[in-house]
């Protein structure tokens, strides 16, 4: 077994590789010494089976699972399978801001590490360990805070525990992902808070909470972004042959009357008048 570690204060991250093996943490070993920690397992390569508290799970590449040092646990890799590589985050129980019942539900539940917050945490963790040699001692506490924030967000999403106090880092990261998603899908007329929340595996209520204090609701932000794109396109001489309604539809406005009213509310001029003026500005030619 190959093993190396990154120490971040109370958090430790292990990179490990295993050949065919069977490991057990028995009640006897627990009684001899229990550090009272949780381990979050990320499978980087291969496949492994884990068993704890009557639950059994097989983890493939990109899968995450949480297990408890205070409970009997067993892990195995079949002899006909290639070597497994994993990253394991060791977290003191007291550091996790989830209630005990949520942690119980999550223990040995396979969590998705290929989409949503899980994917964000997976890529962060992989990059963190790939550059471990570059960090200085003074970086440890800052990296521990970021790691714990993203780990907690991953667990909260998996547990659907949205009443937990989310950290500023978690909110900022998720808001950035939501903004990028909105910009990529502005032309989709079905882009709504409901579809955005579904794409990020959170509730609409939690999505609105992310935007509290941002100066505009998420629906207002979508509408303004669409109008800004249309405003730019109407002044573009290369799009002169394209109708106003076609440009509006390209950015998700399918109802001309509603679009015209929204445009005039924001810019104080109708789309047709704005386009006519833009054609005679020197910079438009």
* Band of residue 28 on the pLDDT scale cut at 50, 70, 90: low
Q: Look up residue 214 and give its two tokens.
A: 């941002």
Cα separations in angstroms, 14 against 2, 132, 268: 10, 11, 59
The yes-or-no verdict on residue 233 having pLDDT over 90 is yes
Helix ranges (DSSP H) in the chain:
27-32, 100-106, 116-130, 140-159, 168-184, 193-199, 204-210, 218-234, 244-250, 256-267, 271-279
Same fold, 2-161 and 223-284: no
Helix H or strand E encompassing 85: strand 84-92
Q: Per-domain residue ranges for the chain? A: 2-161, 169-219, 223-284
- What is the residue whose two structure tokens read 């991250």? 13
Tell me, what's the pLDDT at 2? Answer: 54
Q: Is the pLDDT of residue 226 over 90?
A: yes
Closest CA to 16 of 129, 122, 107: 129
Which tokens hold the place of 44?
């980087």
DSSP for 26-42?
A: -HHHHHH----EEEEEE
DSSP string, 113-177: -SSHHHHHHHHHHHHHHHTGGG--GGGHHHHHHHHHHHHHHHHHHHHT-TTS---HHHHHHHHHH
pLDDT tens digit sequence for 158-207: 776 444 445 555 667 677 778 888 888 999 999 999 999 888 777 788 88
More confident residue, 114 or 188: 188
pLDDT of residue 271: 95
Give per-residue pLDDT as tens, 128-162. 888 888 888 878 888 888 888 888 888 877 776 44
As a whole number, mean pLDDT of residues 37-62 equals: 82
∠227-282-259 over CA atoms, to 5°?
A: 15
Query: Please, which pLDDT band fits residue 10 given cuts at 50, 70 and 90?
Result: confident
pTM of the model: 0.51
Percentage of the residues of the chain whose pLDDT score is greater than 90: 22
pLDDT of 257: 93
Could you please state the CATH topology (level 3) that the domain comprising 169-219 is classified under.
Answer: Arc Repressor Mutant, subunit A (1.10.10)
| Fold classified for 223-284 | Arc Repressor Mutant, subunit A (1.10.10)
Please determine, for residue 21, whether its predicted confidence score (pLDDT) is greater than 70: no
Reported confidence tier of residue 33, pLDDT bands at 50, 70, 90: low
What token pair was written down for 91? Answer: 């977290």
Query: For 2-161, which CATH class?
Result: mainly beta
């Amino acid at each position: 077994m190959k093993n190396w570690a990154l120490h971040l204060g109370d958090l430790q991250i292990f990179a490990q590789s295993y050949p065919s093996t069977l490991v057990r943490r028995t009640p006897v070993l627990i009684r001899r010494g229990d550090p009272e920690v949780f381990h979050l397992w990320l499978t980087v390569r291969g496949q492994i089976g884990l068993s704890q508290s009557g639950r059994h799970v097989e983890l493939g590449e990109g899968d995450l699972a949480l297990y408890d040092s205070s409970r009997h646990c067993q892990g195995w890799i079949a002899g006909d399978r290639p070597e497994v590589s994993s990253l394991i985050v060791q977290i003191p129980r007291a550091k996790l801001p989830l209630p005990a019942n949520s942690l119980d539900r999550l223990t040995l539940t396979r969590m998705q590490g290929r989409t949503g917050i899980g994917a964000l945490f997976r890529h962060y963790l992989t990059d963190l360990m790939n550059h471990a040699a570059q960090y200085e001692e003074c970086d440890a506490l800052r990296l521990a805070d970021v790691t714990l924030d993203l780990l907690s967000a991953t667990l909260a999403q998996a547990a659907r525990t949205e009443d937990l106090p989310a950290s500023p880092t978690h909110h900022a990261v998720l808001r950035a992902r939501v903004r990028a998603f909105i910009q990529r899908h502005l032309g989709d007329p079905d882009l709504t808070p409901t579809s955005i929340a579904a794409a990020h595996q959170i509730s609409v209520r939690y999505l609105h909470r992310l935007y509290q204090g941002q100066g505009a609701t998420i629906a207002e932000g979508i509408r303004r972004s669409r109008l800004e794109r249309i405003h730019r396109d109407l002044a573009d001489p290369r799009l002169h042959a394209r109708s106003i309604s076609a440009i509006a539809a390209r950015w998700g406005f399918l109802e001309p009357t509603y679009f015209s009213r929204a445009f005039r509310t924001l810019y104080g001029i109708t789309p047709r008048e704005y386009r006519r003026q833009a054609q005679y500005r020197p910079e438009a030619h």
